[in-house]
Structure 1
Amino acid sequence: MSHWDPTKITVQYLPPATEFRPVDRRKYTWSQSKTTGESCLSIGYHYDFNVIQVEYRDEVLAEWIPQMGQYVLSGKIFISDESFDEKYAQIRFLIFQREARQALAGMIYGDRTFFTNYPWLLDSPIYIHFQSNYKEYNKIIYYETPRQYLNEAMQLIGT
């Protein structure tokens, strides 16, 4: 994450979502421009399908869901379907497994005002489902808690 600048993210709230609501089913759409490299985060009651590039499918989607008495940040990343061969699926999996931390840091940092109002969510678990038609790349991986990403982002900007 050392090459990532948390201040270079564009955050957009999709009405009626705000910095303070919703909590249940709050959805994040993280995307990055192929041409400029600029990171974009959309926050709302629904995913931002306007920023999803169907030909690349390089977005990271996540949402807050209540689960067994706590909230979980549950994400998903498309790896492959039947139109991808196994080697390409492997490459995508390895890249996204490495880059998921940056996307999560962008989501958490970009929505940091939300966490000042719901600080107990900072210790919630984060799980990312890598979606693939190949069994070895179709996995759910634990990615720690929002607190770790927020702390790392704040250290990068020196606060």
Structure 2
Amino acid sequence: MKKLNPNKLYVEYRDGTTKKSPILNRKYTLTHSDETGDLFLTIGLNYAYDKISKKMRDEVLATWYKTYNGSYALYVNVFVDDPTKFTYKSSLRRNEIFIRELPLALQAIFYGDRDLLKTNPELYNAPIYIKFNSMYPCIDRTEYWLTPKDYMVK
């Protein structure tokens, strides 16, 4: 697994969010620069659609929600289908890239929002669910991806 370089992560808070609150409806938009390798994490009550490339659609979107038993879970969305090609082969390739890069993306989210986790330690053990969105049924799925404590930068 690639390791996050904290010097390449830039965090922005919006919409009344702070480093410590709120948890519920807190939304993460993670984008990156192919040229510099920089990661850009926007934390707000809404996704930062202004930061999303309409051409690539390789952002990671995530939000906290409460489960049926009152605990928290993180739900992450990625858009696997290539918006420029829409072929099965290109979707398979992008799926492989997301699987390879998602651990780094999760490290960035949890490092960038580490004060929220420190303030709310129950979040360290919250389940993470990744929704791989695709028009192809064999790629379109939801997977369990461990907990935030498994992606903390040491």
TM-score for both structures, normalised by structure 2: 0.93
Letter in 2 for 1:149: Y
User: Aligned residue for 2:144?
Assistant: 142
- 2:93 is matched with 91
Distance 1:15 1:70 in 2: 24
Percent identical across equivalent pairs?
A: 38
- Residue 157 of structure 1 is matched in structure 2 by none
Q: Deviations over 1:86-131 (max 9, x none)?
A: 0000000011011111101100011001111101111000000000
In the alignment, residue 66 of structure 2 is paired with which amino acid? P
Q: How far does residue 3 in structure 1 lie from its aligned partner after superposition? A: 4.8
Does the C-alpha gap of structure 1 residues 80 and 2 become closer, same or farther in structure 2, counting only changes over 3 Å? closer
Read off the aligned partner of 2:13 and give its amino acid letter: Y
Distance in 2 (alpha carbons) for counterparts of 1:10 and 1:120: 25
**Aligned residue for 2:119?**
117
Match of 2:24 in 1: 24
8 Å contact kept, 1:81–1:132: no
Cα distance in structure 1, aligned partners of 2:56 and 2:5: 23
Distance (Å, rounded) in 1 between the aligned partners of 2:35 and 2:82: 25
2:103 counterpart residue number: 101
CA distance in 1, matches of 2:31, 2:129: 18
Aligned residues: 152
Letter of the aligned partner of 2:130 in structure 1?
Answer: I
Cα deviation, residue 148, structure 1: 1.3
After TM superposition, the runs of 4+ consecutive aligned structure 1 residues lying more than 2 A away are 1-4
Does 2:51 match 1:51?
Answer: yes
Structure 2's unaligned 5+ residue stretches are none
Letter in 1 for 2:26: R
Of 1-10 and 51-60, the range deviating more from structure 2: 1-10
